[in-house]
């Protein structure tokens, strides 16, 4: 269990009404690094605030998922801007984005686990009691997420984080053009992905953690490509397609691996141990199959020439 989920949101030093412009309304090759950050971050912040407020009274599966995605996108953007934001400020913001994403993801994780258990049941596993228990865990996760993610607190924190970042960037890079900076950060993200992909397929036995590292690096690169598309050189369509294909396979594997970990770490007082063990055995078999499929796709982007991830 991630105990970070029990920390309260930090209170902002000041409140700030964000100008919620459309995603690329003012983003162009002539934009400065600072103004580009505002154009990119503002709509993501607006979406996160809107979803956090809606989830205070709703338990929509997709809503929790998209809230987690919004926090992940902000982490990628802050990483891109870390050379100007500074290491400490970047770490403070991204750590909180990560925590909030984990809290929002609790419900989604049990939804995925529940779906997998129902699939196992349909395949003949006698795990009715565990399926019911997982549904109850999902209900508890909703209540926890709603308690920990209060829309007004999220809005105050995100607005303050955005204001601080804007102020810092305006003082450090307000007159610097965005294009060269964006392409440099994308190249660094590409190299990181390629390095992790090669490490993942270097040995005959692929490790779960290596695939997880590839998945995280791939998400970061894809988000950056989507953010900076208006200002970078064209021709990244194939890269995004390749990343999407890899992410789909890695996501299927991650669903299984995360669900297995979730069930192993949970306490099911009303479920006999042999029922839990039967589900874990089924998940282990599925995990091995999906790991092989994910490894094949990772191998395709790990070649020495990096042909699938070239600009």
What is the DSSP code string of 260-282? Answer: HHHHHHS--TTS-HHHHHHHHHH
CATH number reported for the structural domain that contains residue 166 in this entry? 1.40.20.10
In 3D space, the residue among 232, 211, 231, 240 whose CA is nearest the CA of residue 298 turns out to be: 211
282 part of a folded domain: yes
Do the domain assignments include residue 2?
no
How crowded is residue 87: how many other Cβ atoms within 10 Å of its Cβ? 9
- What residues have CB less than 8 Å from 32, skipping those under 6 apart? 173, 174, 175, 176, 177, 178
Q: Which of 241, 185, 193, 191 is nearest to 214 (CA)?
A: 193
Inter-residue contact 42 to 21 (CB < 8 Å): yes
Q: What is the DSSP letter of 296?
A: H
Those residues of the chain that have pLDDT short of 50 are 1-25, 304-308, 310-311
Q: How far is CA 58 from CA 64, 140, 142, 311, in A?
A: 10, 14, 9, 42
Q: Is residue 4 part of a domain?
A: no
What pLDDT is recorded for position 169?
96
Q: Are 114 and 134 in contact (CB under 8 A)?
A: yes
- For residue 230, CA distances in Å to 45, 235, 307 come to 20, 12, 23
Is the Cα dihedral 70, 75, 79, 82 positive or negative?
Answer: positive
- Say what the pLDDT of residue 9 is: 36
Q: Give me the helices (H) in the chain, please.
A: 33-54, 61-80, 82-85, 87-122, 128-148, 151-173, 178-201, 208-228, 237-265, 273-300
Q: Which 8-state DSSP code applies to residue 5?
A: G
Do the domain assignments include residue 18?
A: no
Closest Cα to residue 105, out of 228, 245, 262, 273? 262
Please state, as a whole number, how many other Cβ atoms lie within 10 Å of the Cβ of residue 277.
11
Say if CB 144 and CB 104 are below 8 A apart.
Answer: no
Cα dihedral 281/282/284/286 (nearest 10): 170
Task: Assess contact for 26 and 35: CB atoms under 8 A.
Answer: yes
Residue 268 lies in a domain: yes
pLDDT at 193: 93
Residue 15 lies in a domain: no
Residue 3 lies in a domain: no
Q: List pLDDT tens digits, range 190-209.
A: 999 999 998 888 866 668 89
Give the length of the chain: 311
- With respect to residue 225, please indicate whether it lies within any of the assigned structural domains: yes
The predicted pLDDT at position 26 comes to 66
Contact assessment for residue 68 and residue 51, using Cβ atoms and an 8 Å cutoff: no
Domain residues for the domain of 149 are: 29-309
* pLDDT for res 170: 95
Q: What's the number of domains the chain is made of? A: 1
Q: Is 177 helix (H, G, I), strand (E, B) or coil?
A: strand
Task: Read off φ and ψ for residue 179, nearest 5 degrees.
Answer: -60, -50
| Phi (first) and psi of residue 32, to 5 degrees | -85, 165
Q: Is-contact 258 109, C-beta < 8 A? A: yes
């Amino acid at each position: 269990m991630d105990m970070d989920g029990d920390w309260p949101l930090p209170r902002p030093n000041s409140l700030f009404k964000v100008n919620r412009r459309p995603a690329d309304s003012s983003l162009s090759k002539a934009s400065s690094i600072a103004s580009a950050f505002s154009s990119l971050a503002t709509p993501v912040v607006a979406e996160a605030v809107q979803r956090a407020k809606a989830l205070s009274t709703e338990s929509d599966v997709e809503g929790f998922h998209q809230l987690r995605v919004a926090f992940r996108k902000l982490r990628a953007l802050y990483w891109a801007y870390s050379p100007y934001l500074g290491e400490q400020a970047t770490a403070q913001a991204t750590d909180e984005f990560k925590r909030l994403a984990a809290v929002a993801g609790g419900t989604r994780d049990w939804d995925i686990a529940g779906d997998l258990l129902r699939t196992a049941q349909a395949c003949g596993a006698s795990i009715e009691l565990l399926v019911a228990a997982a549904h109850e865990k999902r209900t508890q996760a909703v209540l926890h997420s709603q308690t920990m993610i209060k829309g007004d607190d999220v809005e105050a924190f995100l607005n303050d984080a955005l204001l601080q970042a804007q102020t810092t960037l305006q003082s450090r890079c307000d007159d610097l053009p965005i294009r060269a900076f964006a392409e440099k950060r994308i190249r660094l993200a590409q190299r990181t992905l390629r390095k992790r992909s090669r490490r993942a397929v270097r040995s005959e036995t692929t490790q779960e953690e290596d695939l997880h590292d590839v998945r995280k690096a791939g998400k970061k690169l894809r988000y950056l490509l989507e953010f900076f598309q208006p200002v970078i050189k064209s021709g990244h369509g194939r890269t995004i397609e390749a990343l999407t294909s890899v992410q789909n396979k890695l996501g299927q594997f991650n669903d299984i691996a995360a669900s297995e970990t979730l069930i192993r770490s949970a306490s099911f007082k009303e479920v006999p141990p042999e029922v839990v063990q039967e589900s874990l055995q089924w998940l282990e078999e599925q995990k091995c199959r999906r790991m092989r499929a994910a490894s094949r796709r990772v191998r395709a982007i790990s070649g020495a020439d990096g042909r699938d991830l070239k600009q």
